[in-house]
Chain A
Amino acid sequence: MPRRERRSVAAVEAVGPYTLLRLARGGLDPGVPGQFFMLEAPGRLLPRALSLCLAPPGELAFLIDAVGPGTQALCELTAGEEIHVFGPLGNGYRLDVDRPLLVGGGIGIAPLPYLAEALPGAPAVLGFRTAAHAEAAALLPGAEVCIDPTFVTELIDTGCDVLACGPEPMLRAVAALCPDAQLAWEAPMACGYGACYGCVVEIGGELKRLCVEGPVLVPLRQVHAGLSPAITRRAAASSVAPVALATSAPCVLASLGARDRETRQHSPKGHGAAA
């Protein structure tokens, strides 16, 4: 059951260019891998949605990319400070798979360390846009890592049961290879519990709330190609064909504006959320 508690910061650690925020767990349930929590962002009106990265004893840890004012405020927390935390929320990954393969891109690796604990021995392939960002692969010992311009989709064994999280173009490319992949999506989100209707995506021809129906959705064929009009518009405006764009996840993420990235970051897919 989701609860909202005021939790203290146990530690704040740099992981490459990202930040691992470790909070005292208190009475909060870590939930299922792929579920997310709403974290109060000091000085901001709305909390940020972040998927759980790790659940060490007595703690909940979140991997954050400081891409806007809310995530920046979270990364600037220091040990002993307190924030409200609400969760776990949404639907996580289904763990009843035969040949799991974890696939992550950029900050989208956030939910995978906790997922790897639930699927011991599962291989992982990770893609990053720079070697600095790839330092975060240390959170998933043994993972195969590629750096732009090599794409993570080039490392996928399509015979596996893929569980993925990453930027939207990466997820689309993964789904094209593995139609039954479990994908953790993201969308701007104000509340995380179905109240604001801000995080809708088109599923089965209807707009549904990602925080209630997701963030992990199963086959992409349920998700309309127009999930993100912003990215579709960018693709149309550039000389790059959308299909090429769809394989260049980390680059596309880098090209998004700061606010855009912040509102999308960790959302239901794995990390932050509301702007």
Chain B
Amino acid sequence: MRLLNASGCLDALVAPDVARRLDGFVTKTITPLPREGNAPVRIAETAHGMLNAIGLANPGRARFLDDHLPRLRELDLPLWISVGGFCAADYADTCEALDDVAAIELNLSCPNVDEAADGAAEIVAACRAATALPLYAKLSAAHPDVAAVARAVADAGADGLSLVNTLRGAALDPRTLRPVLARTTGGLSGPSLKPVALAAVHACYAATGLPIVGMGGVTTGQDVLELIACGARDVALGTVLFSDPDAPDRIRAELAAAARRAGVAGPDDVYARAHEPGKSPHTRRKVTA
């Protein structure tokens, strides 16, 4: 199990000490052209979560490759490059321009842009033709059948899946009853997303067996263990990094303790355990009743 950051939840150039506590750094999503992102207000706290409407702010492919990537390489960390775009060629061109990185994560699911990418499988197929690097498809649990999307991207050549992106939500100012976010809606993250992530990882593991980077509301080592049990090979931290830059070390320590409580030597020993039949306490209770 590798511990990563979720794309867009850490700037390794500004906070290298936090990045070095991870097993790899995932960049903010890179698009062909620079994007300023959405106007402020961009974030709002909600009950057990937060909304963000950053809008894929990034320096664009050329400046990323010429300026940011060389500086990121100096960190000597495995780099995962999050790639975005608005058509298959956008993604494929960036993939083609990348080499010597740990993996490429295709952001097929940003809730904060109007020109949403369509046709996940088509994009993955175009990128597969453009690169031999490991390709992870980042999907949204907002799709009514995320397992079907997972099968489609697997057939198109994805090496792995990243699950889940945020879900679209809104928050109102309690007095004015108008949206807090300038864009009205943003992506919901934080603890309220965890059950959604568990379900999506469980479904997509069952559908594809592909390696999965699980993420969504991870706050504790126990959360990591549960994602692994659902079928995540690796786990990424998102919102928890905002409130606790020391979260990587804390969560690793908690994870070791959680594994011991689960009666295993290490977290990898519970990989996909949630798929084993007849293990739920409810099942046992029924049998003995």
Contact = CB atoms under 8 A, between A and B. Distances in A.
Interface of A: 4, 38, 40, 44-47, 70, 84, 86, 187-191, 193-201, 206-207, 212, 226-230, 257-260, 263, 274-275
Contact of B10 (A45, A189, A195): A195
B15 A257 contact: no
Contacts of A263: 41, 44-45, 180
A260 to B, nearest CB: 6
Interface residues of B, number: 40
B119 interface: no
Contacts of B9: 195-196
Given A188-B41, A258-B173, A263-B41, A196 B36 contact: no
A45 B43 contact: no
A200 B180 CA distance: 15
B50 A45 contact: yes
Interface string B32-49: 000011011111111011
With most chain B CB atoms within 10 A of its CB, the pick from A4, A45, A189 is: A45
Interface in B176-227: 176, 178, 180, 182, 190-191
Given A46-B50, A195-B241, A257-B175, A229 B180 contact: no
A259 B180 contact: yes
A257 B14 CA distance: 33
With most chain A CB atoms within 10 A of its CB, the pick from B39, B180, B191, B242 is: B242
Contacts of A259: 44, 173-175, 180
A207 B36 contact: yes
B44 to A, nearest CB: 6
B17 to A, nearest CB: 9
The 6 A-B pairs of least Cβ separation, nearest first, read A198-B43, A194-B14, A275-B45, A257-B175, A191-B242, A257-B173
A86 B42 contact: no
22 contacts: A4-B246, A40-B243, A45-B191, A188-B42, A190-B52, A190-B242, A193-B15, A194-B15, A195-B241, A197-B42, A197-B54, A197-B57, A199-B40, A200-B37, A200-B40, A206-B36, A229-B41, A230-B41, A259-B175, A260-B173, A260-B176, A275-B43
